Each structure stands twice: as C-alpha cells, then as structure tokens.
Structure 1
C-alpha cells in the first residue's frame, strides 16, 4: 500500500503525466524534464514528483535510468476496462461475474447496520450474510464489493460458492427471482483498506455505487456497496428519444446483449 505524504497531489501529477503520455504530448522514447523542473511546473514538492514517476514506472509507462533521467517507454501495456450498462442492471451483474475473476476477502453472519436493515425490509432480529470481495480484470483489481444478503437467502450457498460464482446467480438458487433494483452513484476517496486492495493511493478518487436488489413484492435480496477504480471501470447508458412533440425526452434503452464487456482502452483512458 502506498502512503504518500500528499496522496491527492501525487494522484493529480500521476494522472496529468499519464494523459500526456497517452495523447502523445510526451511521445515514446522522449525524456521527461528533471524532477526539479517538474516540481516547479506542477507547483509540488520533489517527493511528490518522485512518487508520481514511481507509479508510472510500476505500470510500465516510463523507464527511470540512473544518471540519465526518466524516459517514456515505446511499448505500452494493454489494459482493459470493464464497461457496464447502467440501464441493464441484472444482465450486467451476471455477465460481469462470469467475465471477471474474484477474490473473497471476508465472509460472516451478523446483525446488519440500520441503513441495510431498512433498505432490505428486514425484521429487527434478522441477521445478514456480509461478504467482501475484490473483482479483477486481466489479473488487476478494479472493484471492492461489500454485499449484505438476508441470512435466509445466504444459507443456501457456501463461502466456497461465493468465491467462484456470481452472487446474483447464487441468490436465485432459492427460487427467488430478482425483479427490480435501486442504485445510487457518487464519488468517494479511498480509505486505507480499500486503497491496499485496489492498489491505489490513500485518498485516491473512486466511483461509489450503492445498489439494493428486490424480488417479488419488494422482498429485499441484496444490499451492495461497490467501489470502483475510475481508470478501470466505466458506467454507460444507451438512450433513445421517445415521446411526441413537446413531450419528447431521452429514455434508457436496453440492448439485447449485456454491455458488460472488456475492451482495450481508448487514448484518453490508456495507462
């Protein structure tokens, strides 16, 4: 885990330099300005510059040569991102579970936090299964997932099952069918545990998604809090123009095939 003196400044310098390399402003083979010049350009300390360059070197974008300086590498590694269709919630969940890898960090039964109990419409004495997982694409972590499932549903599958199969499929083993979901999307800063799991700086920006899944008669099935690396996870929605005359408006449209795919990042997103 990286513990930068000023993680937000380190992240800013890292992102700016990465974008300059991705767009060709710093072409392959070129030498970056020295640390003192970069510190002046970005109005930060040399320690911050050094940490940002170290991140670029770790990711294979630059090469640091003793006595010569820092050079942009000619061949950039292929990095894929997960593209999620916001309008197709359930297709996205199952498809992503099948096309990415998962690492189970924790698994337990407990009394739920009040916000979880209320969202899932649980009785005061009901327990939940809480699991924490990290999902990976191309062997690299991109999401940190904390899921709460009512105990009566969670007992149907085991800890080993959860480490191998998508959670939604496991829940539907009970005979329940997910029918609707409510989700909220915002942004947060990474805390120490999440930063270590996702290999980012403490304080790095993350996409935060909270989703509550319901079955028939609004029976609560899952409360999910997901944190995503924005450089490795993209949320998108396809829209169609509907209505007539002055009432025309944009509405979500769901494609026949889930849009959770892996693709090589475009220039603005290349590492």
Structure 2
C-alpha cells in the first residue's frame, strides 16, 4: 500500500533536515507545494509532524527554521569516517566503474566552476574557497535512468575536460588522461529517499528508496582527486562482492573481493 502523500513529504524533508540542508531555513509552503506537486494541506500536515517531533520551529512572520544543525565533527565523520567503508584497488571497484561508464549512456545536466563549499573542501583536503569543478550527470541503461551522479574535482585537475568530454567518457578515464594516477577509493553505501527533483531525473515517485553512494578517490600519492555523490535506482543496479574468512580461529574477519557492478 503506497504511503500517504503527506508522509512521503515528511520523510524526504526529515532526511534533508538531518543532512543539514536547511541551515538557512526551510522553503515556504508555496515552494514546497510546487516542489512536491501536492496541496497546501498536505504540506502543512508534513510540517506539523516535523514540528511535533521537534525538528523544526514555525513562527508566524519569520518562516520555518530547522532545529537541527550539523556540527563540524558530524560533517567530518560523514566525509572521512563512513560506517561501512570499502577500500578497493583499481582492479576491483574502480575498474568496474570504468566498465559501467563504457556500457551505459550519460546525459550531462550541468558543469560548473566554483569555490569549494566547506564540506567539499574538507573531503578533497583543499583550502576553503579553492576552485573546483562540479558536474552533475544522469546515467542511463537501455531500460531508462539508472543513477544521478554529482562529482567534485579540483580545478587544477579538471581544467582539461568539460561538458563535451564528460558526455563521451567515464570521468576516471578523463582523470587519467589529465595525468592523474588513480590509486584507491573509499566508499560508503547507505539509503536515501528521492525528493521531487531526483524523482524527476530518475523517473520514480517522490519518496522512493535509492542507494546513496559517497565515494572519495585518491591518487597514488594518497591525495584526494574526486569526491562523488551518487544516487542509484535499486531496481536497476546491484554491486556484487565475494566474502572470505581470513585470520586465526579466534580472530577471523571477513574480507571482500569485488566481482562486478550489474545493472539492468
């Protein structure tokens, strides 16, 4: 049974609040109505539930503000210490990513050159305000949209490629063509709900569950060269791993060997 519309709006807004997206205040009711394509009563019911849980404060004449703020420590933890981390050599995860790029098509939504936001600068170990390239793309299989990808790359590396090149080749190949020697990747995988914008890009309903991937790629000198945020349709994407037990009897641990990234 599908979730009520107000609950879908509530779930998406709650997730965005916990991510610190509304530090400057939530959009007004009219903007939320347009964003989610719902009636005012639906928006008000979702906001009322958020207020009841102590997540927002609604004051007449002053708008709606978040009562949640991400601390610097929380941002650093989300960026550098994911709870479920996979590190892989080029022969594993990164090789599969290149293969995926060659076997799917991509639509470049935007490519911007801008000063790095604080969270991006921390991830890429750059000074605040250092110039970076931000690119947003939607990748497709023959069945339709598969993923929405946002990448951040230091401008000194990304200056050699732009919209045209990103539409033709996987970004890892472009990085290597720019003289970068790709080393390892650190990745976290979690779940996220689709907001109205993402629902439109991926051809799904608002509030649908997505696989959320944060991936930080390093060169062979162990310097970050790309930070990626990816949202994948779970009905069209899966990532396979083979697990083995190693170590002594009293201290056995699971180690992984990446097999393939499958999509359909």
TM-score normalised by L of structure 2: 0.64
Q: 1:147 & 1:229 partners in 2: Cα distance?
A: 18
1:203 aligns to 2:225 (yes or no): no
Is residue 105 of structure 2 the alignment partner of residue 104 of structure 1? no
Cross-structure match for 1:126: 130
CA distance in 1, matches of 2:235, 2:263: 13
1:161 aligns with one of 162, 165, 168 = 165
CA deviation profile, 1:23-62 (whole Å, cap 9, x unmatched): xxxxxxxxxxxxxxxxxxxxxxxxxxxxxxxxxxxxxxxx
- Asked if the contact 1:147/1:222 (under 8 Å) is kept, the reply is yes
Counterpart of 1:237 in 2: which secondary structure? strand
* TM-fit CA distance, 1:237: 1.6
Aligned to 1:219, which of 223, 226, 231?
223
- Aligned equivalents of 1:262 and 1:210: distance in 2? 18
Aligned length in residues? 182
CA distance in 2, matches of 1:230, 1:214: 27
Question: Match for 1:190 among 187, 194, 197?
Answer: 194
Residues 1:260 and 2:258 aligned together: no
Write the distance in 1 (CA, Å) between the matches of 2:221 and 2:5: 51
* RCO higher in structure (CA 8 A, sep ≥6): 1
Moved over 6 A (4+): none
Q: CA deviation at 1:218?
A: 2.3
Against the structure 1 CA distance between its residues 7 and 199, is the aligned structure 2 distance closer, same or farther, given a 3 Å change threshold? farther
Q: Secondary structure at the match of 2:205?
A: coil
Check conservation: 1:180, 1:213, Cα contact below 8 A.
yes
CA RMSD of aligned residues (A): 2.2
Unaligned runs of 5+ in 1: 10-84, 264-271
Which of residues 154, 170, 173 in structure 2 aligns to 1:150?
154
